[in-house]
Chain A
């Protein structure tokens, strides 16, 4: 099976450049604005979109993404509406890969089989579910692969060589390397350390490796792009969004542009990278 993710990474490899992956929270701060933001991302230079599924208890996320989820939930966002957002996005864009990222409980409550069918129909390409390690692959990973969705696994600094094969076994699309032991929005990792980690993972897999956590600036994104197949930026975009809201936390005329402009600047950083990782 070839997904939009596989196609996109193959194209980027041919073009000799690293991918720029953006993360935003679905429904932040409201459904309509969120759809406009997601639509604006590819135009601003995002190669892959990660869309957060709001959850009340995001245990691996820092304060920015926690708050983004709560803003979305407060305005009535649900998993069903998140899938609707993807469907609307797909009306105009059938090429940009879109990955849902979140926690298992909303999917478990929605019903795994129904969720996978609805996600596939809506135009979702892959899933990153933070609290499903390989030990729980029967829950969602195996059914997702059968349903034709990529299941993208997180590898971390604590994932040693002995454990890597288990982590990579049912991974597809790309590998998301979490550059630091920590939560989203924490301090940046050292680019050299990231380079070593990427090389280590490359010894175990042919999949593209994207690096996330702690990348906030075009310079940092460029540094990572020189070491990996892609860099992921989330918290910085979510912060840009938040800073554009009014005192009551509502979207303003500036909100969509605030995210799009930072995306464009970061994309320039990635495209300025000297050598894409091989």
Chain B
């Protein structure tokens, strides 16, 4: 596609929430006034130094930031190429990068006087982070989760309930993340007067893709400083997995205007791109769903198709609109990894580094296994280890023992 190169890859979106043709505000009228309020509240918060100061306090003492940038020595030796660093987002409180965004949104909700928080969740990581911060700030919390995901991510369901959240299993549609998002939107339309919708990824109507990106950009900003301290220069490449794409956007965004940095996003190829998968860029085209225009998996009539991934967190037929734009403009390379490749990477990282990754970043590790050997030994590759694998241990254990697929 012929798209003019912008002066900066970091200036979007425009004032209507568009990244090129992507993004926008495709929502029911009931929600529109609230979305405009949210935009105003976010603009005011950004300009208020006390907001950032307060947030930094929680990020340090509650979340445990900065997360380490760890040199994966044995993985590097094993692959025999690029020097691999892991950005250890799995060490955050609640076990994934999701908490960075939730903290920001909950603080916005408090500024807006909203007492009831709703969220959608796939793997349960965003749900756990939301339940955690709602407990911390004494807010009511309702989490929508596809019934299929409730089944395969039991440990996280139990965690959310222990934290005082109500988990609602969603039985409509394909009973996964997309349906959880539909149901959360239905709740929001109904309870718009007192409810804040805490979206977990860089998708949804403007301003969500922007504010989630901004809250997650701490990942890339820290990486930049840490790499400078350890190696005295910028990394040469970045790798992250993508469902909606919030951990990837958080790592990528601060580096988009550094042309020497190669950037790779990894979608979930499920059983393979010619079969059931969740790779919206590789196998989809632009459409409109959940408040934004972006790459979507759909049929010839514009009906949304079922996604499939072994990883509940990537099992979504869309992707954040800014990723769609970065793809069309050619700044980020979007690759994909299958269920089997992710499983192999899950085991490799566990055995070599003593780190059990979540199945989501196992997709990123899978592509590192392909990319790193082709790079020289002085090539610095950063992979976002966006979550820990405790939640996946029962599911992967069953698969490895041949009990289920």
Binding site for B on A (CB under 8 A): 54-60, 62-63, 66, 73, 78-80, 103-110, 130-133, 135-136, 153-160, 163, 167, 178, 181-183, 186
B282 within 8 A of A: no
Contacts of B189 in A (CB 8 A): 59-60, 181-183
Q: Taking CB as reference atom, which chain B residue is nearest A108? A: B288
The answer, yes or no, to whether B80 is at the interface (CB within 8 Å) is no
Instruction: Indicate if B185 sits at the interface (CB-CB under 8 A).
Output: yes
Report Cα–Cα, A154/B31, bound state, in Å: 12
Chain B neighbourhood of A163, CB < 8 A? 32-33
A158 touches B30 (CB 8 A): yes
Asked if A105 contacts B298 (CB within 8 A), the reply is yes
Residue of A62, A78, A131 touching B26 (CB-CB under 8 A) = A131
Contact B303 A55 (CB under 8 A): yes
Question: When the two chains form their complex, are residues A56 and B303 in contact, meaning their CB atoms are under 8 A apart?
Answer: yes
Contact (Cβ within 8 A) A158 B190: no
Q: Are B302 and A108 neighbours in the complex by a CB distance under 8 Å?
A: yes
Residues of B within 8 A of A63 (CB): 172
Residue of A nearest to B186 (CB): A183
Taking a contact as CB atoms under 8 Å apart, the answer to whether B190 and A153 are in contact is: no
Pick the residue among B26, B34, B304 that contacts A104 (CB under 8 A). B26
In the complex, per-residue mask of B274-314: 1 if CB is within 8 Å of any chain A CB, else 0:
00000000000001111101001010111110000000000
Residue of A78, A154, A182 near B190 (CB, 8 A) is A182
- Minimal beta-carbon separation of A115 from chain B (angstroms): 11
- Distance A60 CA – B27 CA, assembled complex (angstroms): 9
Would A160 and B33 count as touching, CB distance under 8 A? yes
Shortest CB-to-CB span from A182 to chain B, Å, is 4
How would residues 378 to 395 of chain B score, 1 for a CB under 8 Å from any chain A CB and 0 otherwise?
000000000000000000
B28 and A154 form a contact (CB under 8 A): yes
Closest to A162 in B: B33
Contact A109 B32 (CB under 8 A): no
Q: Which are the 6 A-B pairs with shortest beta-carbon distances?
A: A109-B302, A106-B302, A182-B190, A156-B30, A78-B301, A131-B26
A163 CA to B291 CA in the complex, in Å? Answer: 19
> Which residues of chain A have C-beta atoms less than 8 A from B190's C-beta?
181-183, 186
CB contacts (< 8 Å) of A79 on chain B: these are 301-302
For the complex with contacts A60-B28, A108-B293, A163-B33, 4 further pairs of A-B residues with Cβ separation under 8 Å are A56-B303, A62-B186, A109-B301, A158-B192
B304-A56 in contact (CB<8A): yes
B6 to chain A, nearest CB (A): 21
Known pairs A153-B29, A159-B29, A186-B190; A59 contacts B185 (CB<8 A): yes
Q: Which residue of chain B has the shortest Cβ distance to A163 in the bound complex?
A: B33
A133 touches B27 (CB 8 A): yes
Chosen A-B contacts, 12 in total, with CB atoms closer than 8 Å, are A60-B189, A62-B186, A110-B302, A131-B27, A133-B25, A133-B26, A133-B27, A135-B32, A136-B26, A158-B34, A181-B191, A181-B192
State which of A107, A135, A156 has its C-beta within 8 Å of the C-beta of B16: A135
- B61 CB-CB contact with A under 8 Å: no
Q: Restricting to B21-42, which residues have a CB under 8 Å from any CB of A?
A: 24-34
Establish whether residues A57 and B33, one from each chain, have CB atoms under 8 Å apart when the complex forms.
Answer: no
- Min CB distance, A129 to chain B, in Å? 9
Query: Do A59 and B182 touch across chains, with their CB atoms under 8 A apart?
Result: yes
B193 nearest CB neighbor, chain A only = A181
Chain A residues, CB < 8 A from B191: 181
From B28, B287, B296, B301, name the one whose CB has the most chain A CB atoms within 10 angstroms.
B301
Question: In the bound complex, what is the Cα–Cα distance between A260 and B34 (angstroms)?
Answer: 39
Is residue B173 contacting chain A, with contact meaning CB distance below 8 A?
yes
The contact string, 1 if C-beta is below 8 Å from chain A, for chain B 177-201, is 0110010011001111100000000
Chain B proximity of A275: nearest CB distance (Å): 28
Cβ-defined contact, B29 with A178, below 8 A: yes
Collect the chain A residues with CB atoms within 8 Å of residue B25's CB.
Answer: 133, 135-136
Q: How far is the CA of A189 from the CA of B271 in the complex (A)?
A: 48
Chain A residues whose CB sits within 8 angstroms of the CB of B290 once the complex forms: 57, 59
CA distance A158 to B32 in the complex (A): 8
Closest chain-B Cβ to A118's Cβ sits at a distance in Å of 14
Q: Is the CB of A133 within 8 A of B29?
A: yes
| Contact A167/B29 with A108-B287, A181-B192 known, Cβ cut-off 8 Å | yes
Kindly list chain B residues whose C-beta atoms are within 8 Å of the C-beta of A158: 29-34, 192
Which of B33, B296, B302 has most A Cβ within 10 Å?
Answer: B302
Give the residue name and chain of the B residue nearest to A160 (CB): B33
User: For residue A54, which residues in chain B have a CB less than 8 angstroms away from its CB?
Assistant: 303
**How near does chain A come to B306, taking the closest CB pair, in angstroms?**
9
Whether the pair A155, B29 counts as a contact (CB closer than 8 A) is yes
Interface contact B302-A181, CB-CB below 8 Å: no
Distance from B264 Cβ to chain A, minimum over Cβ atoms (Å):
29
Q: Which residues of A contact B296 (CB under 8 A)?
A: 105
Nearest CB in chain B: distance from A136 CB, A: 6
Whether B288 lies near A59 (C-beta < 8 A) is no
Residues in B whose Cβ lies below 8 Å from that of A181: 30, 189-193
Q: Does B182 contact A57, Cβ atoms closer than 8 Å?
A: yes
